[in-house]
Amino acid sequence: MIAYLEHFVHENDSETTLHQQVSMDLEGTIDYTSTAYAGKDFGGLHASTPFAVVTPSGTHDISRVIRFASQSPNLTVAARGNGHSINGQAMANKGFVIDMKRPSDAVIDVIHCDVGYAVDVGGGALWEDVLKRCVSKFSLSPRSWTDYLGLTVGGTLSNAGVSGQTFRYGPQTSNVTELEVVTGNGDTVICSHAQNSELFFSVLGGLGQFGIITRARIWVQPAPDMVRWIRVVYSEFDEFTRDAESLITRAESESFDYVEGFVFVNSEDPVNGWPSVLLDPDQILEPGLMTRSVNRVLYCLEVALHYSKGNCSSTVDTRVEKLLGRLTFMKDTLFQVDLSYVDFLLRVKEAEKQAKANGIWDAPHPWLNLFVSKASIADFDHFVFKKILKDGIGGPMLVYPILRSKWDEGTSVVLPDGDIFYIVALLRFTNPYQKSPSVRDLVAQNHEILQVCARNGLDFKLYLPHYNTEEGWKQHFGDRWSRFVEMKSRYDPMAILAPGQKIFTRHQ
**One-letter amino acid of 439:** V
Candidates 30, 53, 75, 90: give the one binding ligand FAD (CB under 6 A): 90
Report the SS3 class of residue 291. Answer: helix
Check residue 184 for interaction with ligand FAD (CB under 6 A). Answer: no
CB of 179 to ligand FAD, least distance (A): 9
User: Given the rule CB under 6 A, which of 78-86, 219-227, 302-310, 429-437 is the region that contacts ligand FAD?
Assistant: 78-86
Report the SS3 class of residue 253. Answer: helix
Check residue 144 for interaction with ligand FAD (CB under 6 A). Answer: no
Size of the site for ligand FAD (CB under 6 A): 36
CB of 396 to ligand FAD, least distance (A): 10
- Residue by residue, DSSP assigns 83-115 as ---SSSTT--TTSEEEE---GGGS--EEEEETT
CB of 310 to ligand FAD, least distance (A): 30
Check residue 163 for interaction with ligand FAD (CB under 6 A). Answer: yes
Check residue 183 for interaction with ligand FAD (CB under 6 A). Answer: no
Among residues 365, 385, 367, 368, which one has the least CA distance to residue 431?
365
Check residue 161 for interaction with ligand FAD (CB under 6 A). Answer: yes
CB of 154 to ligand FAD, least distance (A): 2
Q: 435-440 long-range CB contacts below 8 Å, 24 or more apart? A: 436/394, 439/44, 439/45, 439/364, 439/366
Asked if residues 457 and 373 have their Cβ atoms less than 8 Å apart, the reply is no
> Does 46 participate in catalysis according to the annotation?
no
Cβ density class 179-188: b for 16+ within 10 Å, e for less? bbbbbbbbeb
CB of 82 to ligand FAD, least distance (A): 4
Asked if residues 40 and 78 have their Cβ atoms less than 8 Å apart, the reply is no
Check residue 371 for interaction with ligand FAD (CB under 6 A). Answer: no
Marked catalytic residue, from 105, 260, 379, 492: 260
Among residues 184, 183, 163, 187, which one has the least CA distance to residue 175?
163
Ranges within 454-473 binding ligand FAD (CB under 6 A): 464
Alpha helix (H) residue ranges in 281-325: 313-325
Nearer to ligand FAD, 224 or 465 (CB): 465
Q: How far apart are CA 209 and CA 207, in angstroms?
A: 5
Check residue 376 for interaction with ligand FAD (CB under 6 A). Answer: no
CB of 291 to ligand FAD, least distance (A): 33
CB of 30 to ligand FAD, least distance (A): 18
User: Given the rule CB under 6 A, which of 14-22, 156-164, 283-291, 414-422 is the region that contacts ligand FAD?
Assistant: 156-164
Nearer to ligand FAD, 54 or 160 (CB): 160
Check residue 152 for interaction with ligand FAD (CB under 6 A). Answer: yes
Residue ranges of E strands in 235-314: 258-265, 297-307
Marked catalytic residue, from 46, 84, 365, 466: 84
Candidates 24, 26, 66, 80: give the one binding ligand FAD (CB under 6 A): 80
Asked if residues 409 and 269 have their Cβ atoms less than 8 Å apart, the reply is no
> Does 260 participate in catalysis according to the annotation?
yes
Check residue 79 for interaction with ligand FAD (CB under 6 A). Answer: yes
Marked catalytic residue, from 31, 60, 120, 147: 147
User: Given the rule CB under 6 A, which of 107-115, 158-166, 319-327, 414-422 is the region that contacts ligand FAD?
Assistant: 158-166
| Contacting residues for 1 by C-beta, under 8 A, at least 6 apart | 26, 27, 28, 29
> Does 338 participate in catalysis according to the annotation?
no
Check residue 208 for interaction with ligand FAD (CB under 6 A). Answer: yes
Nearer to ligand FAD, 273 or 396 (CB): 396
Asked if residues 189 and 158 have their Cβ atoms less than 8 Å apart, the reply is no
Q: How far apart are CA 171 and CA 415, in angstroms?
A: 12
Distance between the two ends of the chain, CA-based, in angstroms? 29
Asked if residues 150 and 128 have their Cβ atoms less than 8 Å apart, the reply is yes
Asked if residues 64 and 24 have their Cβ atoms less than 8 Å apart, the reply is yes
- Which x/- pattern, by CB under 6 A, does the window 3-42 give for ligand FAD? --------------------------------------xx
Let me know the angle formed at the C-alpha of 195 by 190 and 197, rounded to the nearest 5 degrees.
Answer: 95
Nearer to ligand FAD, 300 or 320 (CB): 300
Q: How far apart are CA 268 and CA 459, in angstroms?
A: 34
Over its C-alpha atoms, the chain yields an Rg (Å, rounded) of 23
Candidates 3, 118, 151, 265: give the one binding ligand FAD (CB under 6 A): 151
Q: How far apart are CA 295 and CA 342, in angstroms?
A: 36
CB of 273 to ligand FAD, least distance (A): 21
Among all residues, which ones are annotated catalytic?
A: 84, 147, 260
Q: Which residues bind ligand FAD (CB under 6 A)?
A: 41-42, 78-85, 89-90, 100, 123, 146-148, 151-152, 154-156, 158-163, 207-208, 212-213, 464, 498, 500-501
